[in-house]
Structure 1
Amino acid sequence: MTSVSRTTLAKNGHRSLVIATVVGLAATSALLGPTLAQDVPQRPLVLAYYYPWYEKGDWSRHGYVGTPTLGRYGTDEPTIAEQHIAWAREGGIDAFVVSWWGEVHLTARHLDQGFFRASNLDTIRFAMIYESLGRLDHLDGNTDAVIDFSHPEVAAGFAKDLRHLRETYFGHRSYLHVDGKPVLVLYVTRTFRNFDPRQLAAAEATAGTDVYFIADEPFFGDQQSPETARNGLRDGRPVFDAYTTYNMFENALVKEGETAGAYMRREAKPIVDRWARSTVFYPNVLPSYHDFRGHKTLRGSVDDFRAQIKEATRITNPSSAPDAPRMLFVTSFNEWWEGTTIEPAKEYGHSYLNTLREAVEDSSK
């Protein structure tokens, strides 16, 4: 392997990073080469979570609110993927972060049947979000929202999945890389127990590749700070390459009738600020929240969404990693079961996509 190893990272802390083969600014339609650190755009890369798990005509698995412009579509159809990609690019989205639940799961089948057959796939990048709970939680004999790496089956399962991702997706011409490494978002790493960087190195060695890991680690309680989080800083060094938050929703903290932006500013921003001071941290924005579980809701508002983006794009890299790329995550493009969508819908049209594009462009002025 030609890239810096996980062992080197553990010794030296943050690495200097450059973006490799990523979609550039929509305004210029430029692609950045693998060594052009000085040409990294001032605006962040925009990544939106994408869910290829919808069956045409049958969305009865969970309740949801809203009316997709495309109706109850199937994500196994190339024409649907083509429209999603076109809309995403119109909204300034550089990459989809695709939910991955395993090689025989519906999401993998729909990727093969729909997304990868889209005629405009070369206009966008993609990465995976590894659904850790779905893949690993049961391997220690308990399904309890705790992933215990002291069990050999768990570590082996993670390494096996990493190898499959390398063999199946990481080499795709549209896969997103940072510093020559494929990007992989790890969902809820705060559920990992008995875990340290050596296990990442072992999994990478088994898989035969180095990976740029972005961990969904920050949350409430001890997870509010990288110094106290389970998998934040160890001996002053980050366990993972970078960190993000998929969704900071916590039902008990929601005030009736408030917007997603009001909630994020009050509850999430202090945590985000702590993590951004000492780790490479990629913020997320949340347009709204209305899940099928009966939790409280967070209202959506275009002005509110714009304010969130403005705040998120002000986050800078820590002094220990000044050259790390800037990224902004959107939760989500099309997670209808939790009501976090910006995909065009009857209720709000293209307003969220338009706002995303405009607000991110404004951030670079």
Structure 2
Amino acid sequence: MPSQTPHTRVIAFHLPQFHPTPENDEWWGKGFTEWTNTAKATPLFPGHYQPHIPADLGFYDLRLPEARHAQAELAKEYGIAGFCYYHYWFGGRRILERPVNEILLSKEPDFPFCLCWANHSWNTVWQGTSNMLVEQVYPGWDDHAAHFDWLLQAFTDPRYLRIDGKPIFVVYKPDEIPEVEKVIDFWRKRASDAGLPGLHLIGVAHANEKWDPRMRGFDAATMQSLPSRDGRIPRHYLWTKLKLALAGNKHELTIWDYEEILPMLLRSKPVEWTDYPLVLPNWDNTPRLGMRGLVFHNATPELFRGHLREALSRVAHHPADERIVFLKAWNEWAEGNHIEPDQKWGRTWLEVIAEELSA
């Protein structure tokens, strides 16, 4: 575990989909949570690690303060600087809002956090259909004002993560916001009027190394580099390829060896703007997508160590407040993307992070 406060802050994306909601009850059945798909997953090819079963924290319910506290204590123990909670705002409608609402209201747990506006529509594409559940809309300036006014209660929370005193706010799909530069200017003006020293706005670049945050009014970028689902299956998975061929080969199942894809997960060259690396310890969304999923096969904590070490080295010379690495994710269980302890690896992912931060 870290022997001192690390010079770099690792901020882990956090999914609040682990409690029943009226919407999920209506769409997927009574009591649906992220655990529903996680627990029913099955291996799709020899050596495929599924299902992922939680260990230390169990099948928790984020309505419980004890569950939120246990997550924070575990993250703190291994040097995670804070959580970046996914935040959903659909023209004034919020979804999966209860955990963050209660964190703000109760002032517990005492653990740093920021928010990421996951501004994408919800649909049934992961079931192989395209029914719209909740469309991401941008009704206009009154909505942008209402959105900022809601965010202000988070931005002024003493636990909120900042850079040079400015609250961090991440936008998942910045290019989908109409007139995004004007929206950014509008929010910065409201922040100033509210007495904040400013905002530190980070846009997510999706496997696009040329995406320049400065051209949209953002302060920085972080790049999520997930490959497309194109049916790629390495030759050495002969049994899987044969099985799919016999079934008519109608699939999008895409398999990458984790070691092979590692060099593609971070930027290939330095950029002129402020950039925070995003590390991916693992990925396997077949619990959601089945034979349409993307798998990083043979992901291990030791292979992740090198990936994390490279990311940390890239921010070592940033100004102290800007030494940030994003980690995706703390708990995206149905996407096989988590560092919370499971029955296979225990706390090994967390131990690697702690060791690298203390190196």
Structure 2 CA distance, aligned partners of 1:91 and 1:253?
37
Q: By how many angstroms is 1:332 displaced?
A: 0.3
Is the Cα–Cα contact under 8 Å of residues 286 and 332 in structure 1 kept in the other structure?
Answer: yes
Structure 2 CA distance, aligned partners of 1:277 and 1:172?
32
Structure 2 CA distance, aligned partners of 1:201 and 1:156?
15
Q: By how many angstroms is 1:108 displaced?
A: 1.9
Listed as ranges, the matches of 1:141-290 within 5 Å are: 153-166=139-152, 168-196=153-181, 198-206=182-190, 208=194, 209=196, 210-219=198-207, 223-225=208-210, 229=211, 232-234=213-215, 239-252=217-230, 256=234, 257-265=255-263, 267-269=264-266, 272-274=267-269, 276-290=270-284
Is the Cα–Cα contact under 8 Å of residues 260 and 286 in structure 1 kept in the other structure?
Answer: no
Task: Deviation per CA, 1:138-158: give whole Å up to 9, x if none.
Answer: xxxxx8x9989xx7x245433
Partner letter of residue 158 of structure 1? H
Partner letter of residue 232 of structure 1? P
Structure 1 residues 91 and 239, CA, compared in 2 at 3 Å: closer, same or farther?
Answer: same
Is the Cα–Cα contact under 8 Å of residues 8 and 324 in structure 2 kept in the other structure?
Answer: yes
Is the Cα–Cα contact under 8 Å of residues 172 and 204 in structure 2 kept in the other structure?
Answer: yes
Partner letter of residue 309 of structure 1? L
Given the alignment of the two structures, is residue 337 of structure 1 paired with residue 326 of structure 2, yes or no? no
- Secondary structure at the residue paired with 1:127? strand
Given the alignment of the two structures, is residue 27 of structure 1 paired with residue 3 of structure 2, yes or no? yes
Q: TM-score, normalised by structure 2?
A: 0.72
Gaps of 5+ in 2: 21-30, 39-50, 123-131, 235-254
Given candidates 324, 336, 345, the residue that maps to 1:348 is 345
Q: TM-score, normalised by structure 1?
A: 0.71
Structure 1 residues 111 and 324, CA, compared in 2 at 3 Å: closer, same or farther?
Answer: closer
Gaps of 5+ in 1: 1-24, 30-40, 136-142
- Secondary structure at the residue paired with 1:355? helix
Q: By how many angstroms is 1:63 displaced?
A: 2.0
Task: Deviation per CA, 1:223-267: give whole Å up to 9, x if none.
Answer: 321xxx3x5344xxx7311110245342239654534353131x3
Structure 2 CA distance, aligned partners of 1:186 and 1:60?
22
Is the Cα–Cα contact under 8 Å of residues 214 and 220 in structure 2 kept in the other structure?
Answer: no
- Higher Rg of the two aligned structures: 2
Is the Cα–Cα contact under 8 Å of residues 283 and 327 in structure 1 kept in the other structure?
Answer: yes
Question: What RMSD, in angstroms, separates the aligned Cα atoms of the two structures?
Answer: 3.2
- Secondary structure at the residue paired with 1:329? strand
Structure 1 residues 75 and 88, CA, compared in 2 at 3 Å: closer, same or farther?
Answer: same
Is the Cα–Cα contact under 8 Å of residues 18 and 34 in structure 2 kept in the other structure?
Answer: no
Structure 2 CA distance, aligned partners of 1:146 and 1:76?
25
Task: Deviation per CA, 1:154-178: give whole Å up to 9, x if none.
Answer: 4543332122110x21111211111
Given the alignment of the two structures, is residue 108 of structure 1 paired with residue 108 of structure 2, yes or no? no
Given the alignment of the two structures, is residue 84 of structure 1 paired with residue 48 of structure 2, yes or no? no
- Secondary structure at the residue paired with 2:144? helix
Partner letter of residue 280 of structure 1? T
Structure 1 residues 282 and 245, CA, compared in 2 at 3 Å: closer, same or farther?
Answer: same
- Number of positions where the alignment pairs a residue of Structure 1 with one of Structure 2: 296
